[in-house]
Structure formats: structure tokens, C-alpha cells
Structure 1
Amino acid sequence: MKKRTKIILITFVIVYGVASLALQAFRNHMDNEVIHYLVATRDYKNEDLYKVHTQISKAPVVSTTVIFADEPNARYFYRKEKDRIYQYSMALVKRFDPNYTYKHIEEGLP
């Protein structure tokens, strides 16, 4: 393998590794911000939260999914805009049921 090819390959691996670490750090930061919001503002306890996971996708660009321990079949979606965290939607994990009553719906949502 030529020296130039090795340098390009090593550079690519380093850039990819740094980008992956930065992305994971951002996701962890958003997870922690949503957890802090729920604990400090909405009076939940850490043990009330079963799973918190931030994903980056098309729209909204950054979304954090929260599953509560007492309602493992429902997902609640949060996002942050202009230093404000809010719940913007919810959905069942595996099925659709228009008659389902969500336990952790915040005011302002249907």
C-alpha cells in the first residue's frame, strides 16, 4: 500500500472516530438534559424513568424518547428549542390504540 493511501485511510479513521465520539457525547448530554427537566421541573424521580434515548433524524432533527417505568408500553417524545425542553408527542411502543389513555401526557398536548 502506498504511503499516501495509508495516510488518507488513517485520517479517515481518525475523523470518523472523533465524529462518532462527539455524536455520542451530544446524545448523552441531551439524555441528561431531559432527565434533569423531568426530575427538576416535572417532579419525577430517576427510578420513574425506565429508558431515555436521544436520536438524531430528519424531523425533528433531535428527539429524545422517554419510557416511564410504570408505563413501559408508551413512548413520550421530547425536544429542546431555544433552551426550552418540552413534550411534543407520544405513541405506543408496538401498536396503535386510539382509546389508550396516556399517564404522563403534559398540558398543551391533545
Structure 2
Amino acid sequence: MSKGMKVFLVAFLVLILGVSAAIKITFVKKEVAVKNYLINEMKYKDNEIRSARGVVGSLPTFAVKVVFSDEPEVEYFYKEESGKVIQLPKTGLGDENLKHNEKNKKQNPRA
């Protein structure tokens, strides 16, 4: 293997690792922002949130998939941009009956 090829492979590996690290850091920042929003603004307790995991959506959009302890079969998606967190709308039938749909929360906010 030539020296030029070795340099290329090392540079390529460093680039891949750098991109992977940047994506992981972005996920962690978004997860923390969404969890803080749910706890501090929406008044959820930490144990009410089963999980909050960063995911890549379309466009590409970084979103956070949240599962609540009392509704483990439903996934909610939140987006954080410019310091503001919003719940992304769900597109299934009967979404208005979901426990943690924020459209309903605005009408009946938590204590």
C-alpha cells in the first residue's frame, strides 16, 4: 500500500470519527434540552419519562423520541431549535386522545 493511500485512509477514518462524534454530541444536547423542557416547563417528574433518545428524521432533522412511563406503547417526537422545544404533531387517527399530546395539555395544563 502506498504512502498516499495510507494518508488518505487515515484522513478518511478521522473524518468518519469526527462526524460520528458531532452527531452524538448533537443528540445528547437535544436529549438534555427536551428532558429539561418536559421537567421544567411541562412539569413532568423524571420517573414519568421512560426514555428520551435522539433520532434523525427527514430533511434531515434531529428529533428526540420520548416514551412516557404510563403510555409505553406511544412514541412522541420533540424538536429543539434556537433554544425552543416543540412537540411534533402525530399523524395517526385518535391522536387527540393520547395522554401526552401537547395540544390537549394547552387546554388542560398540568399543575
> Under a length normalisation based on structure 2, what TM-score does the superposition of the two structures give?
0.82
Partner of 1:15: 15
Q: Whole-Å Cα distance in 1 between the matches of residues 99 and 5 of structure 2?
A: 57
Greater RCO (Cα-Cα under 8 Å, separation 6 or more): 2
Map of 1:27 onto structure 2? 27
Instruction: Summarize deviations over 1:39-90 as a string: whole Å, max 9, x none.
Output: 0001111111111111123246122111001100111111123321011223
Contact 1:74/1:90, CA 8 A, preserved across alignment: no
Letter in 2 for 1:39: I
Residue identity over aligned pairs, in percent, reads 25
Contact 2:52 2:66 in 1 (8 A): yes
Aligned equivalents of 1:40 and 1:60: distance in 2?
Answer: 28
CA distance in 2, matches of 1:104, 1:60: 25
Alignment of 1:26-45 (within 5 A): 26-45=26-45
| Structure 2: tracts of 5 or more residues without a match | 107-111
Q: Normalized against structure 1, the TM-score is what?
A: 0.83
Measure, in 2, the Cα distance between the counterparts of 1:18 and 1:81: 22
Partner Cα distance (1:60, 1:14) in 2: 23
Runs of 4+ in 1 over 3 A off after TM superposition: none
Q: Distance in 2 between matches of 1:34 and 1:45?
A: 13
Higher-strand-fraction structure: 1
Structure number having the greater helix percentage: 2
Provide the rounded CA distance (Å) in 2 between the counterparts of 1:83 and 1:99.
Answer: 30
Partners of 2:33 and 2:80 within 8 A in 1: no
Q: How many residues align?
A: 104
RMSD: 2.0
Deviation at 1:99, TM superposition (A): 4.2
- The answer for unaligned runs of 5 or more in structure 1 is none
